[in-house]
């Protein structure tokens, strides 16, 4: 277990390192206007070169890369250029992260509760009305582009329930719709997985044996089926959890929530290279951490994972 | 075995399934008396209804199936009338237990085997945690699992197939059931392990005074484990009798066909016998003797009317018109003749 986790951790770190490198190299391909802001038009070629050299961007690539690693190691993400000139990016993020986190966590809680319950209900009433309704919901969420139902919610539901269209931090009612919108996708995903894994388990032989030995259906559901169905879920949970937090890019700009997702859209449009770079790094790290935690969580629940080291059956 | 008392009595059982809007009849008026302490084997080809028949004793039919007619008398109650889980809980595990075919999938891969046996023990014997654990270790020891204390905390994947089947058997006998149904308990295991498991089942049967039902394809192992043999075809028991009677003095053409296809009975230089044709379509109503269309020796009446049981001896009966006094003399296949002679019975005697 510990050995497995350490191995997966090492793998994750290597992946992270590769991603940092790739992101850095890709960012070098961005138009260089991004390093000047408003001043770009007023400067002549020689002045621009001087500024770029001053920022270290004319150094040989391996030197640049080395400097980049170094500053990352001490937690220095660099300074914003256009978005808020000369302000450290970490400073900017400090004001943004809490919003994303609150919304993300609210959405995660909603979708975990709603999704898993829906999945269980669907599995138990297989091919009956609840199952069909739930399947309809899942198909809808997967087939219709998120932007469409997000917009629909924002335009019509706000109207029906007299909710504010845009987010205002001091207006609690304005929190509701973004959080719900954000949870719709992962609710569908959790419900789909939960249903599938539970139905898979339901048809397994050990369930027949459990019935034959005299356990009640309810006991079997809770102690065998739910528990077993949850294990493959555990692998995805951290990823989707983190994904929900970062998946708010669209919703944050839709409701103008001053969070990280809105920021990403903003800085891409305004070509603030250093901030884009920092955000891309953060999102990809989140992805890697999610996968890592998922695997560790799964290993905690499933004794068979450790099989890889030792020969199993004796 | 006729001197011991009947523990389970099945009368004219009809089991049906609904499949894609159509109804199929898997068990067609099958009857069976099971005697206390005996060991009965049920043989028959795949799809003949062996599993379905025995599953009804425990209320374990799949959701699309139901008992349409008939009685299953056990302990003064008619199990065929049982509907709710509360009814069946009283039977399952405590009174009738089952060992399934595939030990690789019969255990929950995410629970320690100790816990899985313990679940049963706690359920039926109302023991407290520590006592229950002790009981479990004792049972594990009983079914021949070495180092049961250590094994208690291991997961199914740490066990070989044979060892897992021992665990499944431990679960089945944990509550000291009266009847143990073994549905092809060794089919998934290799030959040496098969013999060990059969040996274990025989030992446990004696120790716990179990009445056992073995379901098997393998007529070869039957004589080894069973006192009586019931031959099942298309959802009905067409012949039943003591082991010797069914082996050496078989009466039903289907039993002949089964026996003739045993490799041990092949006549040198001749290809092994195989039963021609396919079992009847269970969606249709079957007229007469279900085996008639595949039986080269079928009589006219076999296609018209279902034969009743004809008594061969007090312990031996078969459902075939050949046993009717009015039936013409029909020669059984060569290998059956040889068997009968071996038993010291000539067909004229
Ligand atoms: N859930 C079900 N739905 C529909 N038909 C079923 C169902 N279960 C069993 N049957 C049918 O009932 C018949 C008897 O099946 P059963 O499993 O009892 O055969 P079996 O003698 O145990 O065969 P095997 O030796 O292959 O295990 C088969 O024709 C099968 O198709
Ligand atoms: Mg079967």
Q: pLDDT, tens digit, for every residue of B2-28?
A: 568 999 999 999 999 999 999 999 999
pLDDT of res. B51:
95
Whose alpha carbon is nearest atom 5 of ligand 1?
A: B17
**Cα separation of A94 and A204, whole Å?**
49
Find all residues with CB under 8 Å of A97, minimum gap 6, and list them.
A259, A260
Range scoring the smallest mean pLDDT among A209-218, B11-20, B151-160, B340-349: B340-349
Asked whether residue B346 carries a pLDDT value surpassing 80, the answer given is no
The residues, any chain, with a CB within 8 Å of residue B317's CB and separated by 6 or more, are: B239, B240, B241, B309, B310, B311
Percent of all residues in chain A with a pLDDT value above 90, rounded to a whole number: 21
d(CA A154, CA A152): 5
8 Å CB contact of A314 and B157? no
**Token digits of residue A49:** 């070169």
Range from A96-110, B25-39, B241-255 carrying the lowest mean pLDDT = A96-110
- DSSP letter (8 states) at residue B122: H
> Rounded to an integer, what distance in angstroms lies between the CA atom of residue A197 and that of residue A226?
9
Considering only CA atoms, which of A87, A78, A82 is closest in space to residue A55? A78
**Coil, strand or helix at B284:** coil
pLDDT of residue B268: 67
Cα distance between residue B93 and residue B123, in whole Å: 9
Indicate if the pLDDT at residue A312 is higher than 50: no
HSE-up (13 A, CA, CB side) for residue A205 = 13
Residue A31 has pLDDT above 80, yes or no: no
Q: How confident is the model at residue A313 (pLDDT cuts 50, 70, 90)?
A: very low
Interacting residues of B130 by C-beta distance below 8 A, sequence separation 6+: none
Query: Which of B28-42, B184-198, B321-335 has the largest mean confidence?
Result: B28-42
- Residue intervals of chain A classified under CATH 1.10.3720.10 are 92-301
| Per-residue pLDDT at A268 exceeds 90 | no
B12 Rama class: left (phi>0) / alpha (psi -120 to 50) / beta: left
- CA of B6 vs chain A CAs: smallest distance (Å): 23
Q: What is the pLDDT of residue A246?
A: 63
- Rounded distance, CA B195 to CA A164, Å? 76
Contact (CB<8Å) B108/A208: no
Residues of B in contact with A227 (CB under 8 A): 110
Bridge partners, B134 (sequence order): none
Residue B121 touches chain A, beta carbons under 8 Å: no
Q: Count of CB atoms within 10 A of residue B37's CB?
A: 17
Q: B213 in helix, strand or coil?
A: strand
Residue B319 above 60 pLDDT? yes
Quickly tell me which residue has 């089942």 as its tokens.
B201
Nearest residue (by CA) to ligand 1, atom 4, is B17
- Which pLDDT score is estimated for B347? 43
User: Which atom of ligand 1 is least distant from the CA of B235?
Assistant: 14
Q: Is the pLDDT of residue A310 over 50?
A: no
Residue A281 is inside which H or E element, if any? helix A273-301
CB nearest to B110's CB, from A208, A209, A302? A302
Which of B84, B110, B145 to mutate against chain A (most A CBs within 10 Å)?
B110
Span A216-248, pLDDT tens digits: 999 999 999 998 998 888 888 888 877 776 657
Residue B250, classed as helix, strand or coil, is coil
pLDDT tier, A154 (very low <50, low <70, confident <90, very high otherwise): confident
B209 vs B297: CA distance, rounded Å: 43
Q: Which residues lie below 8 Å from residue B322, measured CB to CB, with a gap of 6+?
A: B251, B252, B253, B297, B299, B330
State the Cα angle at B38 between B34 and B41, rounded to 5°.
Answer: 75
Max Cα-Cα span within chain B:
69
pLDDT of residue A311: 40
Residue A135's pLDDT band (cuts 50, 70, 90): very high
Contact B172 A213 (CB under 8 A): yes
pLDDT by residue (tens digit) across B125-150? 667 788 899 999 999 999 999 999 99
Mean per-residue pLDDT, B73-94: 93
Whether the predicted model's global pTM rises above the 0.90 cut: no
Task: Give the integer Cα–Cα distance in Å for B95 and A308.
Answer: 41
> Measured from the CB, is residue B286 less than 6 Å from ligand 1?
no
The residues with which A262 forms a beta bridge, in sequence order, are: none
- What average pLDDT does the segment B282-305 reach? 91
pLDDT at position A234 is: 86
Mean pLDDT, chain B, as a whole number?
Answer: 90
Other beta carbons within 10 Å of B96: 27
More confident call, B233 vs B335: B233
The per-residue pLDDT for A100 is 84
* Span A175-179, average pLDDT: 85
With 90 as the cut, is the pLDDT of residue B190 above it? no
**For the residues B323-341, what does the mean pLDDT come to?**
86
Number of neighbouring beta carbons within 10 Å of residue B86: 9
With CA atoms as reference, the chain B residue closest to A228 would be B110
Which of B157, B160, B175 faces A307 most closely, judged by CB atoms?
Answer: B157
- Residue B31 three-state SS: strand
Of all residues in chain B, what percent carry a pLDDT higher than 90?
A: 68
Asked whether B60 lines ligand 1 (CB < 6 A), one says no
Q: Quote the tokens at residue B281.
A: 């379509």
Does domain A92-301 bear CATH number 1.10.3720.10?
Answer: yes
Contacts of B172 in chain A (CB under 8 A): 212-213
Please answer yes or no on whether A213 and B123 come within 8 Å at the CB atom: yes
């Amino acid at each position: 277990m510990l050995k497995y986790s350490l191995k997966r951790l090492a793998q994750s770190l290597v992946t992270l390192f590769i991603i940092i490198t790739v992101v850095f190299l890709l960012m070098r391909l961005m138009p260089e206007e991004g390093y000047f802001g408003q001043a770009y038009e007023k400067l002549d070629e020689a002045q621009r070169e001087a500024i770029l050299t001053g920022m270290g961007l004319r150094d040989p690539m391996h030197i640049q890369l080395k400097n980049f690693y170094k500053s990352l190691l001490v937690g220095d993400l660099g300074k914003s250029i256009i978005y808020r000139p000369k302000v450290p990016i970490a400073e900017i993020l400090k004001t943004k992260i809490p919003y994303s986190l609150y919304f993300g966590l609210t959405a995660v809680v909603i979708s975990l509760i709603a999704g898993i319950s829906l999945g269980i209900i669907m599995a138990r009433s297989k091919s009956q009305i609840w199952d069909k309704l739930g399947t309809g919901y899942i198909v809808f969420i997967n087939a219709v582009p998120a932007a469409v139902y997000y917009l629909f919610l924002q335009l019509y539901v706000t109207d029906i329930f007299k909710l504010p269209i845009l987010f205002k931090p001091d207006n609690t009612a304005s929190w509701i719709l973004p959080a719900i919108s954000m949870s719709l996708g992962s609710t569908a995903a959790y419900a789909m997985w939960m249903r599938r894994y539970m139905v898979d388990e339901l048809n397994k032989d050990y369930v027949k044996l459990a019935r034959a030995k005299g356990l009640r259906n309810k006991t079997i559901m809770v102690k065998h089926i739910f528990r077993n169905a949850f294990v493959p879920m555990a692998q995805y949970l951290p990823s989707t959890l983190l994904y929900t937090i970062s998946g708010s890019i669209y919703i944050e700009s839709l409701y103008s929530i001053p969070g990280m997702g809105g920021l990403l859209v903003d800085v891409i449009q305004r070509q603030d290279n250093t901030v884009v770079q920092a955000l891309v790094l953060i999102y990809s790290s989140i992805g890697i951490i999610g996968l890592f935690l998922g695997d560790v969580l799964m290993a905690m629940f499933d004794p068979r994972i450790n099989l890889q080291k030792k020969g199993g059956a004796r | 075995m006729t001197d011991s008392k009947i523990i389970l009595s099945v009368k004219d059982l009809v089991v049906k399934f609904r499949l894609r809007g159509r109804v199929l009849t898997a068990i067609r008026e099958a009857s069976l008396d099971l005697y206390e302490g005996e060991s009965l084997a049920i043989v028959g080809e795949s799809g003949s209804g062996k599993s379905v028949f025995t599953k009804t004793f425990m209320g374990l039919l799949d959701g699309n199936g139901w008992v349409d007619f008939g009685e299953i008398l056990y302990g003064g109650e008619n199990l065929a009338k049982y509907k709710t889980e509360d009814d069946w809980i009283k039977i399952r595990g405590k009174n009738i237990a089952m060992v399934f075919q595939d030990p690789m999938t019969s255990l929950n891969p995410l629970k320690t085997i100790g816990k899985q046996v313990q679940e049963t023990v706690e359920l039926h014997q109302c023991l407290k945690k520590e006592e229950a654990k002790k009981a479990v270790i004792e049972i594990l020891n009983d079914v021949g699992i070495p180092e049961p204390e250590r094994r208690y905390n291991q997961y199914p994947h740490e066990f070989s197939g044979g060892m897992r089947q021992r665990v499944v058997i431990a679960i089945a006998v944990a509550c000291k059931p009266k009847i143990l149904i073994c549905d092809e308990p060794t089919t998934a295991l290799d030959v040496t392990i098969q013999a060990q498991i059969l040996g274990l089942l025989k030992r446990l049967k004696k120790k716990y005074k179990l009445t056992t039902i073995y379901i098997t394809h393998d007529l070869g192992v039957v004589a080894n484990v069973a006192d009586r043999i019931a031959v099942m075809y298309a959802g009905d028991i067409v012949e039943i009798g003591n082991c010797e009677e069914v082996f050496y003095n078989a009466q039903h053409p289907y039993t002949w066909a089964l026996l003739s296809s045993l490799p041990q009975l092949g006549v040198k230089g001749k290809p092994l016998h195989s039963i021609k044709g396919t079992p009847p379509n269970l969606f249709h109503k079957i007229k007469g003797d279900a085996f008639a269309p595949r039986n080269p020796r079928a009589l006219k009446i076999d296609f018209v009317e279902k034969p009743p049981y004809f008594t061969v001896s007090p312990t031996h009966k078969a459902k075939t018109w050949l046993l009717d006094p009015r039936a013409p003399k029909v020669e059984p296949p060569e290998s059956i003749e040889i068997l009968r002679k071996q038993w010291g019975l000539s067909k004229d005697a």
